[in-house]
């Protein structure tokens, strides 16, 4: 399943604690793409992880905010996501999304529409490009 995350770009280049590889390696062989949101923050798009254990490495990172699940939480507004248990989505992440025109009253699909205008390959819809 394709997902979005908001995080500092530096996280992708950090060595994973206790491992011999950088965080960006958790996406192999599928890879990832990102949009620069300014101020060192990115919107990361990935389609899969090398394994469930490697997905957990990203999800457990304290600076990685998980956005709404595309099918289970797509109607949740970003203002409701701030402080939601397990998401690590804070005001700073919402502020970073403002560079794409996204505000608290928007949903994941509003963000999606703005993202694919800039980078069609970052669609959350399977095989949409």
- Residue 73: the pLDDT is 87
**Residue 41 domain flag:** yes
- 20-62 pLDDT, tens digit each: 666 666 666 567 889 999 999 999 998 777 778 878 888 888 8
**Residue 55 domain flag:** yes
pTM of the predicted model, to two decimals? Answer: 0.88
**Residue 127 domain flag:** no
**Residue 22 domain flag:** yes
**Residue 126 domain flag:** no
The answer to whether residue 10 scores a pLDDT higher than 60 is: yes
According to DSSP, residue 9 is labeled T
DSSP string, 41-93: EEEEEES--S-HHHHHHHHH-TTPEE---TTTSTT--HHHHTT-TTT---HHH
**Residue 128 domain flag:** no
- Residue 78: the pLDDT is 95
**Residue 91 domain flag:** yes
- Residue 77: the pLDDT is 95
What domain range includes position 16? 3-121
- 79-90 pLDDT, tens digit each: 999 988 889 999
**Residue with more model confidence, 53 or 65:** 65
Rounded Cα distance between 19 and 3, Å, is 24
Rounded Cα distance between 12 and 2, Å, is 18
Q: Say if CB 114 and CB 128 are below 8 A apart.
A: no
Domain count, the chain: 1
Best CA proximity match to 111, nearest among 45, 27, 41: 45
**Residue 14 domain flag:** yes
Mean pLDDT for the stretch of residues 74-103: 93
* 97 phi-psi bin (left φ>0, alpha ψ -120 to 50, beta other): alpha
- Residue 58: the pLDDT is 81
Partnered with residue 73 across adjacent β-strands are: none
Q: What percent of the chain stands above pLDDT 90?
A: 50
């Amino acid at each position: 399943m394709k997902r979005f995350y908001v995080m500092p770009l530096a996280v992708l280049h950090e060595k994973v604690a206790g491992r011999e590889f950088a965080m960006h390696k958790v996406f192999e062989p599928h890879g990832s793409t990102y949009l620069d949101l300014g101020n060192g923050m990115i919107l990361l798009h990935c389609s899969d992880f090398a394994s469930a254990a490697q997905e957990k490495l990203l999800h457990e990172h304290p600076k990685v905010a998980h956005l709404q699940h595309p099918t289970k939480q797509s109607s949740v507004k970003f203002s409701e996501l701030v402080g939601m248990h397990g998401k690590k989505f804070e005001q700073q992440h919402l502020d970073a999304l403002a560079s794409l025109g996204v505000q608290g009253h928007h949903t994941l699909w509003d963000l999606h529409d703005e993202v694919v205008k800039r980078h069609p390959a970052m669609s959350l819809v399977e095989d949409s490009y």
